[in-house]
Each structure stands twice: as structure tokens, then as C-alpha cells.
Amino acid sequence: MSDEIVKEYSKGNFHVIWKPRKCIHSKVCVEALPEVYRPQEKPWIKPDHASEEALREQIDRCPSGALGYREDSRAGKQPESKGAVKAQVVKGGPLLVRGSLELESPDGEQTLEGSTAFCRCGASDNKPFCDGSHKDVEFDN
């Protein structure tokens, strides 16, 4: 994804990083911290409305890896891999792959860390990644 958009929302030395093209709109963030994630507002992420600990815990549960964070001079953090790559087929949704893997695409190779959601329904405008389109086409496989 050479044209990847990355948005950053800061709370002092803590920075929430959002990669919209990876987001599958699962609403895990909004349901966990509705005071922080407000999709109808701009900016839609308000990190000042929660503790850093609460933000870390919620971001670590992001199923697609669209949310990450960094603190001070550390690089963006994603949930750490425990060695093996794990994959989960989500009924009616994407293939979630957790861990570190190299993806070879026609545009070139890229390393994916944390969680990545791959499209299974074929309707994503961001293939091979899921963009949440499975909801619109009522994919239930």
C-alpha cells in the first residue's frame, strides 16, 4: 500500500495511529470507548477522553490492525506476535491474520504486523484487504 493514509491523534506523548484503509468498521473501538471514538465528529478520535491504559487495551483489541499507537520515540505499536502466524475465519466477515507476515502483491512486497483483515466476500474496494463491504452484500459464509 504505497499510498497508505495514516492519521495520528495525540494525547501528550501518547499517539493513536489510524490507518483508514485497513479499517473494517467492526465497531470494536466505538463499543469499547464511545467517549473516544465518535465517527460522526471531526476529528473522530479524541484520545483525551480516556486514560492511556484504556486506549492501549482497546487498540490492542482492534481486529484489523487499523489502530496502533506510539509513545514518545517508540515506533508504532501493534499487538505482538507470539511466534506463529494465526488466522481466524470470521463468519460473515474477513479472514483475520495475526502475526508478522510478508505479503507479495503485484505492487511489491510489504511486511504486515499485528492484525490484518483479508477480504473473503470479494466486494472490498481495497483487495486483498477487507473494507467492511461484507456487511453491504450480506455475506454470511
At residue 42, the 3 state secondary structure works out as: coil
* Residues 90-136 pLDDT 10s: 999 999 888 888 888 888 888 887 788 999 999 999 899 898 899 89
Considering only CA atoms, which of 56, 50, 65, 58 is closest in space to residue 96?
A: 65
81 falls within a domain: no
Does residue 49 belong to any structural domain of this protein? yes
Model confidence pLDDT, tens digit, residues 35-77: 999 999 999 999 999 999 999 999 988 988 899 998 875 444 4
Q: Which residue has the higher pLDDT, 83 or 138?
A: 138
Say yes or no: 64 and 91 in one domain: no
- Residue 83's pLDDT band (cuts 50, 70, 90): low
108 to 22, 31, 95, 99: CA distances (angstroms): 17, 36, 21, 20
Looking at the fold, whether 18 and 57 belong to one and the same domain comes out as yes
Q: Domain span at residue 12?
A: 7-71
